[in-house]
Amino acid sequence: MLRTPLINVMTAAAQKAARGLIRDFGEVEHLQVSKKGPADFVSTADRKAEKVLFEELQRARPKYGFLMEERGAVEGVDTSNRWIIDPLDGTTNFLHGIPQFAISIGLERDGQIFAGVVYNPITDEMFVAEKGQGAFLNGRRLRVSARRDIAESLFATGIPFVGRGNHDLFLGQLRAIMAVSAGVRRNGAASLDLAWVAAGRFEGFWEQNLQPWDMAAGMILVSEAGGFVTDLAGGRNIFQRGDIAAGNDAMHPAMVKTLAGAKAAAS
């Protein structure tokens, strides 16, 4: 069980924010919802959860900065440490009553992701990781899948929706992965997809057009569970490019190569 002081702070904040999300999820049809873009919704639940996370983490680490989905960047006195937060990853799932969403808290230290927490309040699954300490789910040590055959492997992805992403490119990527794998899943919350790679439920995950708060916590989970995380070009410019590929040591390179072939074919 990973119970460092830092992880204790992060999990306590997540659990406190989760109480409000659980209440709101039970009354989802009554939520006040505003649109902030095509098919991109922000709810009162989002804002309330982010406020709780901001207040709890600031109280525990008052000098740290923040990068948040709703509030944006908040500079801290300690410029080495920055919280990267998505208070409700999977908002569209949440608003449709689908219990696949999470609170995602990452800590960036000196430009590298140092710790992460991904918490699904409905299933009460708390994924945690800290650099050099391993990744855990509710106290159980996590390891990425050991599958070596892509034909037996299951992949996750995010599908671009109205007004977002290159649909033709994605369809080519999907076709390429479908042709060689046991299947592809689209669950609607990138942080949980990454956590599930860490847990060995998926052999790989890829997605484009993501923000740092979608990926930060999940990245360290996969790495600490023995997996590999890069951008889709196989490099380390994940936040700059806004795309990601994660998997075990066999499926990560196979997935990146397959996706690159699909991109070349689409060019």
Tokens of 100: 């696949």
Region class of 4: left (phi > 0), else alpha (psi between -120 and 50), else beta: beta
Q: What is the pLDDT of residue 38?
A: 44
pLDDT tens profile 114-129? 999 999 999 999 999 9
Query: Average pLDDT over the chain, rounded to whole?
Result: 93
Q: What is the mean pLDDT of residues 190-197?
A: 98
Q: What is the pLDDT of residue 140?
A: 97
Residue 196, pLDDT above cutoff 50: yes
Q: What is the pLDDT of residue 236?
A: 96
Q: What is the mean pLDDT of residues 9-27?
A: 95
Q: What is the pLDDT of residue 40?
A: 54
Q: What is the pLDDT of residue 70?
A: 84
Q: Which architecture characterizes domain 5-141 according to CATH?
A: 2-Layer Sandwich (3.30)
Q: Which architecture characterizes domain 150-266 according to CATH?
A: 3-Layer(aba) Sandwich (3.40)
Q: What is the pLDDT of residue 2?
A: 81
Q: Give how far Cα 150 sits from Cα of 26, 79, 141, 187, Å.
A: 39, 42, 25, 20
Residue 141 or 45, more confident? 141
**What is the phi/psi pair of residue 55, to 5°?**
-65, -40
Q: Rounded CA gap, 81 and 110, in Å?
A: 7
Q: What is the pLDDT of residue 262?
A: 87
Q: What is the pLDDT of residue 127?
A: 98
Q: 226: burial class by Cβ within 10 Å (0-12, 13-18, 19+)? A: middle
- The CA dihedral of 160, 165, 166, 172, to the nearest 10 degrees, is -40
Residue 163, pLDDT above cutoff 80: no
pLDDT tens profile 208-267? 999 999 999 999 999 999 999 999 999 999 999 999 999 999 999 999 999 999 888 877
Residue 39, pLDDT above cutoff 50: no
pLDDT range class, residue 33, cuts 50, 70, 90 = confident
For the chain, how many helices (H) and strands (E)? 8, 15
Q: What is the mean pLDDT of residues 189-206?
A: 98
> What percentage of residues in the chain have a pLDDT greater than 90?
81
Tokens of 122: 């409905």
Q: What is the pLDDT of residue 42?
A: 66
Give yes or no for a contact between 189 and 212, defined as CB atoms under 8 angstroms apart: no
Domain boundaries, the chain: 5-141, 150-266
